[in-house]
Amino acid sequence: MADDLVEKQRQEREEEEEVVEEEDEEVEGETRSFKDLGICEQLLEACEHLGWQIPTRIQVEAIPHALEGKDLIGLAQTGSGKTGAFALPILQALLEASQKSVQAFFACVLSPTRELAIQIAEQFEALGSGIGVRCAVLVGGVDMVQQAINLGKRPHVVVATPGRLVDHLSNTKGFSLRTLKYLVLDEADRLLNEDFEKSLDEILKVIPRERRTYLFSATMTKKVRKLQRACLRNPVKIEAASKYSTVDTLKQQYCFLPAKFKDCYLVYILTEMSGSTSMVFTRTCDATLFLSLVLRNLGLRAIPINGHMSQSKRLGALNKFKAGECSILICTDVASRGLDIPSVDMVINYDIPTNSKVRPAPLYVLFKSNLACHGAL
């Protein structure tokens, strides 16, 4: 059974490439260019430098409304280009406003995870490199003093997790968001869980009512609807994804086997796919450490990432995986939503997800390459 699974995945790679090429051609015929959407010349150059040639569906539908100054609700799966959908309009508005006066703390983006916050800030800096955009990242696990120093430089964009932003609003002298013009709630369905709800309420109380608000989410939950009514004004709703959608190139499979053979089967399939990059999701932090140790002792290049690790170690593990120094990332749900990882061939659920909304498969990881295998052990 295992041999059949691996062989089948290898045969499907070439078929997937053909399908993706056909789909890309169809999309190109339907969508417009970034210039047609109203993006200015400076940002067009940045898009070209990043290799963004054709806007995605969420970008096509969101950017024109955002440039008109409307609030947005965007429902889109991870990997759909939603960061660009809110970053480009904000940067264009910043460029126009900066011609009149200095615009510190112009926009704030809230993210549920540290890694996603850092990734969003990198995207803003890449897109705004030609216009001198300054970003500050406020996340836990990093020295608050250094973050306060960065805030003292009066950045244009603040990207933060809710808890750490509240800490700075309460304790960092001279820091406020009174001049805020744009608020973005990214992965809003996760921002509204019990861990962040209180912090989010505190943030909404101290920021200006006269602002533009963009809310992006993979799912439209009751809490997201409630937040929409509370902090958005006549928003334009854009749906670029179904409630629990997956990327089109994803191939999903599952395998029933005795629990005592699960580790052996995992080692077998990772060995057979040793030339590929893989992510293995587990339920607990201890499991990430155990599996990475087992796999490394068997000669496989595995590295763990979980919520118990320090921020520097988590980023180090993620960067090693992105750079190809390690081909297997053993992770908990800390890596299940929103991360932009250039090339992943196989994703395995070592444990059945406890929350299918957070990690249906897990499907909320961005894959730019065709996927070879995705299933649950």
- Find out if CATH 1.10.1660.10 is the number for domain 21-239: no
Q: What is the mean pLDDT of residues 266-282?
A: 89
What distance in Å separates the CA atoms of residue 137 and residue 133, rounded to the nearest whole number?
Answer: 13
Integer angstrom CA distances of residue 270 from 151, 262, 297, 350: 44, 12, 14, 12
CA 304 distance to own-chain centroid = 19
Q: Dump pLDDT digits (tens) for 36-91.
A: 999 999 999 999 999 998 999 999 999 999 999 999 999 887 667 889 999 999 99
Average pLDDT, the chain: 81
Residue 182: its H or E element: strand 182-185
What distance in Å separates the CA atoms of residue 249 and residue 20, rounded to the nearest whole number?
Answer: 7
Where in the chain are the domains? 21-239, 246-376
Residue 340: its H or E element: strand 340-341
What distance in Å separates the CA atoms of residue 124 and residue 127, rounded to the nearest whole number?
Answer: 5
Helix, strand, or coil (residue 366): strand
Examine domains 21-239 and 246-376 and report if their fold is the same: yes
Q: What is the mean pLDDT of residues 227-256?
A: 75
pLDDT-derived band at 108 (thresholds 50, 70, 90) equals: very high
What per-residue confidence (pLDDT) applies to 371? 36
Please give the residue that has the higher pLDDT: either 32 or 4: 32
Q: Dump pLDDT digits (tens) for 110-163.
A: 998 888 899 999 999 999 999 999 999 999 888 899 999 999 999 999 999 999
Query: Best-predicted range by mean pLDDT among 170-184, 250-264, 336-350?
Result: 170-184
3-state secondary structure 204-272: HHHCCCCCEEEEEECCCCHHHHHHHHHHCCCCEEEECCCCCCCCCCCCCEECCCCHHHHHHHHHHHHHH
Nearest to 180 by CA among 119, 97, 120: 97
What distance in Å separates the CA atoms of residue 86 and residue 212, rounded to the nearest whole number?
Answer: 11
**DSSP letters along 160-177, please?**
E-HHHHHHHHHHSTT---
Q: What is the assigned CATH class of domain 246-376?
A: alpha beta
What per-residue confidence (pLDDT) applies to 309? 86
What distance in Å separates the CA atoms of residue 76 and residue 82, rounded to the nearest whole number?
Answer: 7
Angle between helices 162-171 and 144-152 (to 10 degrees): 70
Whether the Cβ atoms of residue 121 and residue 129 lie closer than 8 Å to each other: no
User: Residues 109, 329, 241, CA angle at the centre, nearest 5°?
Assistant: 45
Which residue is it, tokens 């992943």? 344
What distance in Å separates the CA atoms of residue 57 and residue 79, rounded to the nearest whole number?
Answer: 11
Q: Dump pLDDT digits (tens) for 320-355.
A: 998 888 999 998 876 655 566 767 888 898 887 665
What distance in Å separates the CA atoms of residue 259 and residue 36, rounded to the nearest whole number?
Answer: 55
